[in-house]
Amino acid sequence: MFYCRYLDLSGCYFSGNIPTSFGRFRELETLILTENILISKVPAVLGNVTSLRTLELAYNPFSPSHFPPELGNLTNLESLWLSMCNLVGSIPQSTEKLSRLINFDVSNNGLIGTIPSVIFQLNNIVQVELYNNSLTGVLPMGWSNLTKLRRLDVSTNKLTGTIPDELCELSLESLNLFENQFDGLFPESIAKSPNLYEIKLFSNRFSGSLPSELGKNSALQYLDVSYNKFSGKIPQSLCEMGALEDLIMISNSFSGSIPASLGNCRSLLRVRFRANELFGEVPTEFWSLPQVYLLDLFGNAFSGNISHMISGAKNLSNLQISRNKFSGVIPSEIGKLKNLVEFSTSHNELTGEIPGTLLHLGQLGTLDLSFNELSGEIPLGIHTLKQLSELNLANNGFSGEIPDELGTLPVLNYLDLSGNYFSAEILLSLQSLKLNKLNLSNNRLSGMVPEFFDKSVYRNSFLGNPGLCQGVSGLCPAKGGRQHEGYLWALRAIYTIAGFVFLVGIAMFIWKYQKFKKIKKGITMTKWTSFHKLGFSEFEIPDGLDEANVIGNGASGRVYKAVLSNGEAVAVKKLWEKTVKDEIPYGDEFEIEVESLDKIRHKNIVRLWCCCDTGDSKLLVYEYMPNGKYAYTLHVNEKSDIYSFGVVILELVTGRRSVGPEFGEKDLATWVHTTLNEKGVDQLLDPNLNSSFKEHICKVLDVGLRCLNHIPANRPSMRRVVKMLQESVHYNVPGMGNKNGKLSPYFPKSV
């Protein structure tokens, strides 16, 4: 046994300690114990196994312990993977002796202190992974010694200062510096790297311009510089090699126009120029990029028309061009975008009528044309938009009657037609909608308002319509002076009698109200976003946020079971204040990311009914799952949420619900494990899935199984899950080699 050379016990659910006898291996070259339930701490005796070339202990719930300095004795070591091993303290000086090390990964730990200069003694290093620790200080000088370094990830730390030129002069492939406090200019020299495919700098304080030749010398694929202070123009050369897929530049100060060269970048998938100072006309070809599924130009000063060439953007599902200066008509060609889920073009200068071709968009969920100069009537046939949940036509010049068929839209819950010239009476068919937002104010409506709308939620929905009367209190003139005075006398008498009762109960009310405020701190109904037709009003949600209704607590927040007036139960996740500030995306980003959940169409996925973003508090309202399933779904910590995501993956791959009579007393997860061991993978897969993609489907299944690890600490982070899913589909970047499920590209074993 002690003459073994290769030992891989990963994912075997071994528990307890690593035996001290492991230090007696004489010829062991590879030891892989990842994804088990090993506790205690990383044993120092492993430093005795000097023959080791690969040591991988990642994803074990070790007790908090320091990085063993004895590991510096492993002078033959080429790969050291200690991610999520609960390491604390600093990186030891003895690390400098690992001169043959190629991969150094101590990510997802609690390491503190600065990045030690000893790392610059590792002359053979190819990959350094230090992300998600608590490292401080600046990036030290000495990077020029690491001539073989290709991938560096120091993201999600507390690093400061500027980026050394010598680091960017290396032949880097991937550079991840996001979520730190870096500032200053970004070195021009990074553009010279011939193999650079990934740069992620978001959430720092960088300023100045991007390197003018970025993308000219390498096949750049991913660029995210969001939430910095960059300015200047967008470089012309970003897609010169034709490989760029993600171009994310949210919330900077970029100016100028979109480079014409990007109109030829047919590899683009996501483009986000939100909240910059860009202007001018969008290049015609840019509207028709065939692979783009997200085009976000929100909050700039773009002008000109929406090109009819947009019909070429066959993959487009999310078009956000609000708060610009676009003019002209809405092109009829938009009706050819069969995958379009959101079309938001508010606060522009668009004119003309709504083209009838928009009624061909069967997947459309959000249509926001507010604050333009549009006119005409709402086109007949709008009932065909069965997925439409939000319709906002406010502050235009629309006229005519409100079509009766609006009341037949099955999931519509946000309707704003205010500030137009709609006339005639309010249709009774609108009563059938479960609306959380209804605004028909400032039109030319007349007649009676149905009594159905005499509710507080609709209190301001009909103001500014002089012809409206009856049904809703406050809209009608008084009738008869004496009768009116009699009513006033009666009301005064009632109020006098009730005053005594009120005073008796005021003390208890204040006490309960103070408790209520503490529970609901920060929950002011500022912005509700609904994703399905609701049978309740969001204004009922706060009533369920009581300590007695708590069904789960965790690192990211608390979950309540709220029973509504109609008897329905929902699960409400309220995120902690720290989570809101540190982890939830900024501003509109929270809403955008949450809305992406609504695009997942599968019968087995638990519904997210709606969300609330108040700026200082976030609520997520889910379908309630009984039978104790919140231990694996909405119990709010990251690892149990990962379990829930793993169940979703299994449901998608197998085509089965998470619970069902075919499982007896088991659930889907247990059934999958049993069937996989006894009958093989072919008996698991949904027969409706295309068999030609079996290899990719099996990789996705493997990701799901990793998420279902019975030990929460051993489940991968969502960041790792996303990376593995990307790798399982089609990502094959030259020079990246085998990734082995790593969070950043993993070096090939042959290096």
Annotated binding site: 574
Q: What is the DSSP string of 236-254?
A: TTTTTTS---EEE--SSEE
Alpha carbon distance 746, 188 (integer Å)? 26
| Cβ atoms of residues 402 and 412 within 8 Å | no
Alpha carbon distance 85, 64 (integer Å)? 8
Alpha carbon distance 610, 580 (integer Å)? 17
Alpha carbon distance 563, 551 (integer Å)? 13
Torsion angle in degrees (nearest 10) through CA of 661, 666, 672, 673: -160
Q: What is the DSSP string of 86-119?
A: -EEE---GGGGG-TT--EEE--SSEE-SPPPGGG
| Cβ atoms of residues 455 and 539 within 8 Å | no
| Cβ atoms of residues 364 and 384 within 8 Å | no
Sign of CA dihedral 576, 578, 582, 588: positive
Structure tokens at 219: 């096949």
Structure tokens at 545: 């946020």
Which residues are CB-contacts of 350 (< 8 A; sequence separation ≥ 6)?
A: 306, 326, 327, 328, 329, 330, 369, 372, 373, 374
User: Of 374, 477, 474, 395, which is closest to residue 440 (Cα–Cα)?
Assistant: 395
Alpha carbon distance 595, 608 (integer Å)? 9
Which residues are CB-contacts of 509 (< 8 A; sequence separation ≥ 6)?
A: none
| Cβ atoms of residues 173 and 219 within 8 Å | no
Q: How far is CA 668 from CA 346, 602, 649, 652, 717, in A?
A: 45, 16, 11, 11, 22
Binding residues for ATP, by number, are 574
Count the Cβ atoms, other than its own, within 10 Å of residue 55.
23
Structure tokens at 313: 């953007």
Structure tokens at 625: 């799952």
Alpha carbon distance 457, 610 (integer Å)? 16
Angle at 445 between CA 442 and CA 448, to 5 degrees: 125
